[in-house]
Amino acid sequence: MVLMIAFVSDLVERQRKFLTDRAKERVVLQSDLLAASAVPQITTEDYSGLNEVLETLVQDKAVRYALVTDAAGKVIGHSDISKVNHWLVDPESIRILHSKVKTTQFIESEQSVKAASPILNQGETLGWAWVAGDFRDDAKAIAVVRRTGIYYVLIAVASGLVFSIVLSNTITKQLRLLLAGTERLSRNELGEPVRITTDTEVGTVARAFNDAMRKLHEQQLEVDRARHELEAEVSERRRAEEELQNANRAMETANESLQRFAYAASHDLQEPLRAVANYSELLTRRYRNKLDEDANDFIGYIHDGAVRMQSMVKALLDYSRAGARDGSKPAAIDTAEALDDALKNLQTAVEDSGAKVETHKLLPVHAHRVAVTQIFQNLIGNAIKYTTDRRPVVKISSVADGGFLKFAVQDNGPGIAERDYERIFTIFKRAHGADIPGAGVGLSICAKIVQGYGGKIWVESQKGEGSTFWFTLPRARSSITQELDPVTRERSSS
């Protein structure tokens, strides 16, 4: 708008200057002409001829009036005859009369420009020719130009306003809303879309931005949902783990107190039982012939019962002690050495039975040597104890099973009925009669030890063919990657 006003003002000013200059040139030319044509009239004092020239001159619409004065400023001819014989009185004219003799022009008023040319004859100033040019037409033209300029400025301002309003309502406003949308995006506030205010390209961009933001929002909601679910799952799992830990701790405490109770009870029971057995034996010996047959039988029952109870109490004591760790931590132990210890303990039984014991190379396990020795001793001891009329053959092997080693102690004994597979691992439960001595605690001790290491024990059997006792123990970490090398070593009593 400012540029427009400046441009129009400049245009008007140039136009005005052009018209003024043209008018000045014209009056100068006319005053020069008048001065030239006035010479003969003045020299001949033909003032009527002079008036004719003046009348002709004012025929031109651009000339307001014209006059001729003598050198002193007295009007000798005038386009307005009534002004003849008047004197020039205005200061500007007087100044020209007294200044250097030459054609001079000056602005007389807003509507007129005046020129004065000296009337010269052979170097003598006869007078002055004065022509006043009319500025009014030019002023009108300038006014038209100015008005037109103002119209154009107004039109330009109005269209500029309309353009800027349209621009603001379409592009600018939409861009502002889009910018606010990107700010919300940077603050991760994806729920509020950008309002669409136009169908232009900017509106299309805003629509695409909304689509992208909506997708992002949906994804974020999905991620939030998944995270909440995961958090709930994690806290649920943590709670379950805590419960399990609490239950484990409670079970450990209960186990420990049960163990202490079993140990204390069996230990304390031994003394009175020994007394009952000893005194019942003493009774038998001293009063055998003094009592009747029934009394002798009763004393015998008391003695047998006490002895049986003694062996049961001892078994209970063994069971309660089994797997007691004396505070030491499990470590990698050489399984073959533990097996050797067990076989040394069983040396007499092996020799007496003439049994053949075959062992494969065994990988190390993560446990206690005494505990592993006890497992082998119980299982191999049973394999030698429960036999048929065949020569006992015991095979010991192992195979890797994930982080565990799976051991097999296989015999060729009488085998076990399927209904006894589980119960024989319970304390005092036997599948054989009293003809084969035993307290029914060996397998329960094995189960207790194995379970203490997180392992399992079970039996598979073919009646009349033999049994295989399986148990698992954690592998020593160093052996996890090692492969089992089945080198057979044979041990035999012979």
Where does this chain bind ligand ADP (CB under 6 A)?
Answer: 378, 382-383, 386, 411, 413-414, 416, 424, 430-432, 438-444, 467
Helix (H) or strand (E) run with residue 379 in it? helix 369-385
Identify which of residues 342 and 441 has a Cβ nearer to ligand ADP in the complex.
441
Residue with tokens 């602005």, as numbered in its chain: 107
Q: How far is the CB of 355 from ligand ADP (least distance, A)?
A: 12
Residue closer to ligand ADP, measured from CB, 135 or 386: 386
- Specify the long-range contacts of residues 42-50, CB closer than 8 Å, at least 24 apart: 42/68, 42/70, 42/76, 42/119, 42/121, 42/126, 42/127, 43/121, 43/126, 47/76, 47/77, 47/84, 50/76, 50/77
C-alpha to C-alpha distance for 475 and 484, rounded to whole angstroms: 12
**Under DSSP, is residue 487 helix (H, G, I), strand (E, B) or coil?**
coil
Query: CA dist 317 to 263, 439, 457, Å?
Result: 5, 12, 22
Please report where in the chains the tokens 């309309």 appear, as a residue.
162
Nearest to 456 by CA among 484, 479, 477, 425: 425
Shorter beta-carbon distance to ligand ADP: residue 321 or 430: 430
Kind plus residue range of the DSSP H or E element containing 118: strand 112-121
Q: How far is the CB of 470 from ligand ADP (least distance, A)?
A: 12
Q: Could you tell me the two tokens for 145? A: 């130009």
The residue type found at 401 is D
Q: CB of residue 438 vs ligand ADP: minimum separation in angstroms?
A: 2
Supply the minimum distance, in Å, between the C-beta of residue 433 and ligand ADP.
9
Phi, psi of 475 (to 5 degrees): -75, 150
Least Å from the CB of residue 323 to ligand ADP: 15
CA distance 63 to 56: 10
**Which of 138/411 has CB closer to ligand ADP?**
411
Four-residue CA torsion sign, 96, 99, 104, 107:
negative
- If the CB atoms of residues 96 and 424 are measured against ligand ADP, the closer one turns out to be 424
Q: How far apart are CA 184 and CA 486, in angstroms?
A: 70
Question: Is 174 or 467 the residue whose CB approaches ligand ADP more closely?
Answer: 467
Give the CA dihedral 428, 429, 434, 439, nearest 10 degrees. Answer: -30
Minimum CB separation of residue 411 from ligand ADP in Å reads 5
Q: Measure the CA–CA gap between 471 and 414, rounded to whole angstroms.
A: 20
Closer to ligand ADP at the Cβ: 198 or 410? 410
CB nearer ligand ADP, residue 117 or residue 382:
382
Strand pairing report for 393-401 and 356-360:
parallel
CB of residue 463 vs ligand ADP: minimum separation in angstroms?
10
Bridge-based pairing of strands 331-333 and 466-474 is unpaired
Looking at the Cβ atoms of 318 and 334, the one nearer to ligand ADP is 318
CB 371 within 8 A of CB 326: no
Minimum CB–partner distance for residue 457 and ligand ADP (Å): 11
Nearer CB in complex with ligand ADP: 271/435: 435
Residue 15 · residue 140 · CB < 8 Å: no
Measured between alpha carbons, how far is 467 from 379 in angstroms, rounded to an integer? 11
Nearest residue to 203 (alpha-carbon basis) of 173, 244, 236: 173
Nearer Cβ to ligand ADP, position 339 or 441? 441
The nearest distance, CB 450 to ligand ADP, in angstroms, is 13
Task: Give the nearest distance from C-beta 431 to ligand ADP in angstroms.
Answer: 3
Residue of this chain nearest to ligand ADP (CB atom): 438
Nearest to 77 by CA among 107, 44, 102, 99: 44
Minimum CB distance to ligand ADP, residue 395 (Å): 12
Nearer to ligand ADP, 77 or 414 (CB): 414
**Least CB distance to ligand ADP at residue 485 (A):** 27
Backbone angles phi, psi at 276, to 5 degrees: -60, -45
Q: CA of 438: how far to CAs of 2, 310, 347, 431, 443, in Å?
A: 121, 13, 19, 11, 11
